[in-house]
Structure 1
């Protein structure tokens, strides 16, 4: 590679005299014009209080427009956010920092006023302040429509029976947008042990909506389907799942090594015998996978670069002595540039072929511009591939045995200054498969569509809802969205006087898809395919007319769900093992004997380049493909929070997480689809190996954080502890605080605890070795970081976890898991309570000691300077101002709450704490001790 392209192209951050970022400067250089450098400036503006009011990317700033504008309250909480990509949202929280009301999907008229004809108002209702302040319901109203209660929350009481199931005070019945989720028992660690799902009646109909009116649970239950599907779980004392029994009675069993990493798994069908899924797993000292042996006898080994620990090899083989014979099935080799961009991928298990005077090597090469955006790629494709669209290329079956199947291709990619992919140029000279895909980008936002929909930038925004959801997939194919901006229905074929072809979807309260129904006219009858998604299980049925022609259970196993058992009532079962690449794309499928079922290769942004299988019938049952995601009949990939268009390299809707991954809400994985992949449609992660490294740390921190929050809440529930609790509260928030504040504190702890319990270390965490800036530069973190962001107030949590720092903290004897738990609670308080970062705890290099100077100094701020003629600030006013800063401070809340937990666990802690307080003076080097949580 030519390193001169990247010379003198730093990422520059310009600060004003208050230390606020006002400019982000990046330097763009392309290999085709290395002497031309374009300066790209992202601009930020602030109000007099230092709160962000506007951000504009280089493209929109040049047109005098902004990507986002903000209005905040006096504390800096965003009240109104206007986005060029996703419309305007108004949000109000209550005094406890909980969401109270949002109005979303507000558009803007040509004269700049609000257009509310698509606006959706959502309000939250809570328990009385004398109770725990838990949410009771959510009401939703589309402009001009009737208000609907879309969610209801029902909690267990305090009976002996409920206590025996660890349900006391817990959410046990959640009536949501899809039906009912009922929790029947919970482990002490917070793991649900028995969960029942019931769908709404007539859930297959897109017009069926949830509305839980009244206060009668019997009336709510009358709206539900009679099928109650129960998933049961057992877990160990750390919260690791030992067994799961799905809704059809099939049981999976897991085992772990001493580090808490998966070491083996087994599956037993209902009424059958146990089968080995994963026979063994071994890891490096850093927690990276080294070797994995599956139940089909196939072994996968992983290798890493010694200095960077980047994954550089994945080898899958049938070993000597295997019943099907020794064979290397896949041998992927990765080469990187110094910053981690993938330059070459070679599959040494495949042979070099020759056809039409070309040498077809089983390798892919990649090149990048100075912003690390992919600009060109080479590889091989099927000779009959044709132009990429929403369909798959023709299947080659059986598996090819000659060289005429493959040909070389080259792709080039073009982007605008905001990072929008605007053109994909494809060339395959041997087959004359040459074409260009163009994307038209709006002149007022980052919304974009294929040029087949419009070539006029001014017409693009009309093809989106006000919330940033695309309204047409292809010409004539309409898209319908829910009030929560989730894809509801795709209509690929419209028939006059006859039923349309369609695919509809239904989601739970957390935006997880739990139902898909596809209807397609074949011949003279309508074929209906239905999929219901449950934990570890998919229930798939097919009907032709009113006659059911297939009933299939797809049992999902393995640490990342890469193993699927197709179980039919007639016993014609098939186990399918999927073997993937660096970003999780399923490239190789093997059966229970280790023989090849299918092989698939992908273009960089998705789309299938090579598609071959041993039979057409088996190929039809492959559903998980690019990036380990499910491909729908529409050609869209379902990622969780969004759908992805691989033929355009763009998301179908604006990012519900907002600017977590930058100002462009439609850009896919920072235009670097080889280095990054997306786990849920919100933001990219870097490399699968980082998940293996970071997940155990997050799981351990979550378990400890949940335990400490529970202990603190129980301590506050006992009125005899009020004096001690109030003393701790006054220490961190001001001596004038009264006992009534303890009720609010308990509500806040419950709120944060709920967020911690919802955190999934696999699904909700984006793992990277270290922080990456917008331009791709690495930012060395000086402390463990885990940024948590709320999206659309849907209760879901997302974390950016930097694995090299997490590992460093975990191994530090003075910090360890205890400090990682502190970080999780701290960051969760930002999300759930709207806290700020005004001061941090000082963690000393002595086990169990905290330096509280910075936090306690908040209570004694410097006297505020006043202007001529203005009254001087009194000491009372000064301390009140300091107390307000402390109450809003994330580390003050976190430390005070954890000190409650320490006291609950060991009364000697409080006695020592109270004794040290007597001699503690702000500004002194005195330390407050906190024994490690044993």
Structure 2
């Protein structure tokens, strides 16, 4: 995979500054259909060409069915350059916008003209005509006749319009009659931007015949009535339009698919609108002047009451579930100012948000939960140019204090500084971000808030000269704080770079089609190709070796994905275009997986239906919030919220499993579990956790630098760690009580070397940035793990163990491993898979292993190697029975456990494993009645004693992986691959003891060098827990039976095996299982230390997988992963055209926050999490909702702000994530797509 670099990502806010949730559903607009149901107007906006760069030059057409415009594009059509003009009267001016809207301006006493509705705009008279200052600070200039002459962009760019002197044209009607027609304005002949790019316009019979652009010529055709009927692109693809009279009734894309169908009443109002294949049909009724009904394709009707104050219709209130594309929730109502701006939004649950505005229409205050005890207000002030100057809110740390974000600007309106003021680390502090610009107004640098090191990102551009060709003025380089440079070049006419060179000198070349779709990417000699249909829908992705993924569509929506050798996943949809069923089939047509989806009247995902009559249900309140869910077994979970829509409590099966409390700004300050144990959190004014108090782990305090990076942590036991982050906020040397670690990086920004108290590591990469060698030195011993990759495909095809043995992988055209050899000898062969799913069968030596699955991709039988295990499950998919297991009785191992009332610490065990437990202030087990435990500053177990005698000592690397164990005078070193899998053990002198071999993370074979040397094969259960080891002849050499929580009774052991539950390793000296970040006691089903990630891993910080060891695993010792759900469930939302993310560095009017994300993504480089500074792995409060929750926001866009190219209601998808450094929970954008919503997603 090509390495991609993201620099200086800017989080930007629109200058309009009206909350999205308020504006969206207050407009009487059906998104995706482009219908204003107040007026009955049909609105279409389509962009024919867009030339990207510091200046964006585009040609966009807009259609309004109720427009009387009969311009150069035909009836109803307009465009910004050909249509925008001023109609000048004595005391007023009417602005005719490029989208067809008319905005009325009234002359004031000072001679300026002010609009009457919406945010304030001003037209001023100049020596050459007039100029209009837009809210984004672009200036539109007009001549004395009102013709648009040019645009001066806020970033310094310009667009100039040129006109012909002709004021009349000769035209011919359908009967061949000719006439001379006077034009309202001379025809536009060209527009030219400050980069020298020009769009030229040609005409025929008074109609626009073509536009000639750097990307080619676009042609326009009309019928005898002068109606626009076709637009042909440079590649010959044509989009067509149909009419009845002058009303647009159909849009047909370049594939011949009719993507929109409309009908009208006698008054010219839209009465019905449907998308491709008649999906998502909506019908509109007009029973009275201010009442509208909207009925969807499921025959569900919503009734809207309108407010027409000021002559602009807005929604006042409505009843019914609301059409999915119309916005709002049942029972919402709106009140407006005289300028038609929202003054109050009252939602179905009674909660309200109120707004006030200044004379220019800027939001002054936003008061949430108005009229309740939770009321909070944000106040904004503005510059004379209506740019935010300060944003102020009450401090959540200290009553009476304020938290302020202040912005300053240069004379051109570019933001110069952004300063946050508030309480950090217990004292008032400020952090400033500074921007500079080139003489042409382009961003030149962004200097972060740190003063101890450089955190500046610099931008450079190609010269603004014609000699540069398509590179003129485009982004040339981005230089980060370390001086690492990414270079962009060889731009296309559309403004896309064909060549990108990274800091490591890796060159990525790209090819594009006439629409700007990516056709190919090549890096390091590896090429991926993409094909599209005539409408621009992605059809195939082909990687080297004819590895092709094919995409199918129905009515323009994703319908299937097909991979080698013909396996297909497909979706069927309801009349609204929402997925109602997903199926996966083999190449022979056999169905292997199915999942049904059902929706309530409001469009919320109501139920998921699985095979076997298992149904999972979800219930929502009138505000669209999830209030109850019921699993297939009928067990319900309830959710309650406060007036700010914050989750207050989760109740499962009648028991309150979690209760939450928040501060003024939604920071979670307290979590109470079912045993009434309370964990509390305190924050600074920047949202960082500064103190955590837990009944299990005591109190921890955290300190941050001006960029919100964690620099110090102190815990109850006076253990402290400190660190700093260099330049781009990546780990530099850190220190803790008793040790330190340092990190260094290569020129490409990749981790190159680590040095800590246990030794040092060095890393080597190939040209693609893939890790090829990892060398570790501990004492006098050096070991190395090496990786090989296919030069044509880039996938890993070889792994060289520290012992020197070489494991090689073979792949099929679907990129699935189908064979493995060890030192050129067959190891595993004939590996087959379920379509889009897990391994189904394979051959190991002379043995064949098979696995059967149900249609939820849950294993029902595993047989092979003298083993036959069969599983039965309940409706939830949980294992309820395992049969045909040749296991003797494990009687006599029962135990009774007792827990402390004030926390979840285990106090004693009565029975076969009797003992009492003692803890330190951090919640670490000090004694279990037989052993004494010693820990380091990071709460890692370093020594175990019994009867004052040390039994074992342990060391760890910078990622908490155990690197050595010393017991009985013998030291064993442990070796890991880049996926953090234990792959080898050796003595301190380098003598190999054993190698572990995995297939997709599951142990598949063991190479033993010490006791009975040889190659052995694992037989595992549905979790991946070893049950047996077999030799090549199938004879059992090791076998165990397990209690539910993983305690093994060894039945046969002529070969040593210490692997247990996935991710666990058995220590004979203690009976504990090492589980990466913690040690697990299988006798009690609990860890001996609290969860390093706190309550994020579960409400009980000691429990293993939430008490569900038969259906879940915890590979990292952090959080449970339930495996009784479908292994693979492809999401059609991800089927989108590949987009090359060129950093957008033109700065709009307002910057609310600037976030630096220097991300480096490369297949097979450093394992996930390897860049984490372990001093930063503090306990974070759980996010609300939990991390990985998918959140959606339906985009209801008003006619003035369409979101091309989404043809239908579109949604923004986000995934809950958490910053491990400051514990801030945040929604990570996934993308924008058409409905339906992903299963399990939650609404805003």
After TM superposition, is the score higher than 0.5?
yes
Q: CA deviation at 1:578?
A: 0.9
Q: How does 1:522-921 map to 2 (within 5 A)?
A: 528=970, 530-535=972-977, 537-541=983-987, 552-560=993-1001, 562-568=1003-1009, 573-609=1013-1049, 611-613=1050-1052, 618-619=1054-1055, 621-627=1056-1062, 629-633=1064-1068, 634-687=1070-1123, 693=1128, 725-727=1144-1146, 730-731=1147-1148, 734-735=1149-1150, 748-750=1156-1158, 752-753=1159-1160, 760=1167, 793-794=1176-1177, 830-831=1219-1220, 837=1226, 843-845=1232-1234
Cα RMSD after superposing both structures: 4.6
CA deviation string 1:230-284 (max 9, x = no partner): 221112477632111122321111122222222111111xxxxx22221121112
> Within 2, Cα distance between the matches of 1:9 and 1:537?
42
> Within 2, Cα distance between the matches of 1:565 and 1:553?
7
> Within 2, Cα distance between the matches of 1:250 and 1:464?
44
Distance 1:471 1:346, change over 3 A: same
The answer as to 2:857 corresponding to 1:292 is no
CA deviation string 1:476-498 (max 9, x = no partner): 4211111111111111343xxxx
The answer as to 2:637 corresponding to 1:254 is no
The answer as to 2:605 corresponding to 1:169 is no
Equivalent residue number for residue 376 of structure 1: none
Give the number of aligned pairs: 585
Equivalent residue number for residue 215 of structure 1: none
Q: CA deviation at 1:7?
A: 8.2
Distance 1:803 1:559, change over 3 A: farther
Describe the SS at the equivalent of 1:670: helix
Describe the SS at the equivalent of 1:622: coil
The answer as to 2:481 corresponding to 1:481 is no
> Within 2, Cα distance between the matches of 1:43 and 1:514?
40
Q: How does 1:415-454 map to 2 (within 5 A)?
A: 426=894, 437-451=895-909
Give yes or no for contact 1:87–1:466 (8 Å, CA) kept in 2. yes
**Greater relative contact order structure (CA < 8 Å, 6+ sep):** 2
Q: How does 1:371-390 map to 2 (within 5 A)?
A: 381-382=888-889, 387-388=892-893
Equivalent residue number for residue 125 of structure 1: 724
Equivalent residue number for residue 922 of structure 2: 467
Distance 1:58 1:537, change over 3 A: closer
Describe the SS at the equivalent of 2:960: coil
Give yes or no for contact 1:755–1:795 (8 Å, CA) kept in 2. no
> Within 1, Cα distance between the matches of 2:785 and 2:1219?
33
Distance 1:344 1:802, change over 3 A: farther
For residue 671 of structure 2, the aligned residue among 52, 55, 59 is: 55
> Within 1, Cα distance between the matches of 2:810 and 2:816?
8
The answer as to 2:771 corresponding to 1:192 is yes
Q: CA deviation at 1:629?
A: 2.6
Q: How does 1:323-472 map to 2 (within 5 A)?
A: 329-347=866-884, 381-382=888-889, 387-388=892-893, 426=894, 437-451=895-909, 463-472=918-927
The answer as to 2:786 corresponding to 1:232 is yes
Q: CA deviation at 1:96?
A: 2.8
For residue 643 of structure 2, the aligned residue among 1, 17, 26 is: 17
Higher helix share: 1
Give yes or no for contact 2:631–2:876 (8 Å, CA) kept in 1. no
Give yes or no for contact 1:440–1:456 (8 Å, CA) kept in 2. no
Distance 1:646 1:842, change over 3 A: closer
Equivalent residue number for residue 302 of structure 1: 851
Distance 1:659 1:836, change over 3 A: closer
Q: How does 1:86-165 map to 2 (within 5 A)?
A: 86-104=697-715, 106=716, 118-127=717-726, 129=727, 132-141=728-737, 150-157=740-747
Give yes or no for contact 2:849–2:862 (8 Å, CA) kept in 1. yes
> Within 1, Cα distance between the matches of 2:1234 and 2:879?
39
Give yes or no for contact 1:517–1:530 (8 Å, CA) kept in 2. yes
CA deviation string 1:715-751 (max 9, x = no partner): 7xxxxxxxxx530xx24xx4469xxx9xx76xx222x
Distance 1:840 1:801, change over 3 A: closer
> Within 1, Cα distance between the matches of 2:912 and 2:1073?
23
> Within 1, Cα distance between the matches of 2:1218 and 2:913?
46
Give yes or no for contact 2:1079–2:1088 (8 Å, CA) kept in 1. yes
Describe the SS at the equivalent of 1:18: coil
Equivalent residue number for residue 927 of structure 1: none
Give yes or no for contact 2:962–2:1076 (8 Å, CA) kept in 1. yes
Q: TM-score, normalised by structure 2?
A: 0.42
> Within 2, Cα distance between the matches of 1:11 and 1:687?
21
CA deviation string 1:652-701 (max 9, x = no partner): 111112112322101121112111122111111122885x537x999x99
For residue 652 of structure 2, the aligned residue among 10, 26, 46 is: 26
> Within 2, Cα distance between the matches of 1:387 and 1:47?
51
Q: TM-score, normalised by structure 1?
A: 0.55
Distance 1:259 1:794, change over 3 A: farther
Give yes or no for contact 1:15–1:21 (8 Å, CA) kept in 2. yes
Equivalent residue number for residue 70 of structure 1: 681
> Within 2, Cα distance between the matches of 1:645 and 1:198?
31
Higher strand share: 2
> Within 1, Cα distance between the matches of 2:704 and 2:1164?
22
> Within 2, Cα distance between the matches of 1:455 and 1:647?
7
Q: CA deviation at 1:120?
A: 2.1
Give yes or no for contact 2:1006–2:1018 (8 Å, CA) kept in 1. no
Q: Which runs of 5+ in 1 are unaligned?
A: 29-38, 61-65, 107-117, 142-147, 158-167, 200-224, 269-273, 318-328, 351-361, 363-379, 389-425, 427-436, 495-499, 520-526, 716-724, 765-787, 807-813, 848-853, 856-934
The answer as to 2:959 corresponding to 1:510 is yes
> Within 2, Cα distance between the matches of 1:343 and 1:68?
34
Give yes or no for contact 1:177–1:509 (8 Å, CA) kept in 2. no
Q: CA deviation at 1:623?
A: 1.5
Distance 1:517 1:796, change over 3 A: farther
The answer as to 2:1080 corresponding to 1:490 is no
> Within 2, Cα distance between the matches of 1:789 and 1:133?
11
> Within 2, Cα distance between the matches of 1:803 and 1:310?
22
Equivalent residue number for residue 915 of structure 1: none
Q: CA deviation at 1:804?
A: 12
> Within 2, Cα distance between the matches of 1:488 and 1:453?
29
Describe the SS at the equivalent of 1:659: helix
> Within 1, Cα distance between the matches of 2:846 and 2:733?
51
The answer as to 2:44 corresponding to 1:44 is no
Describe the SS at the equivalent of 1:71: strand
> Within 1, Cα distance between the matches of 2:670 and 2:1189?
32
Deviates more, 1:832-841 or 1:95-104: 832-841
Distance 1:448 1:594, change over 3 A: same
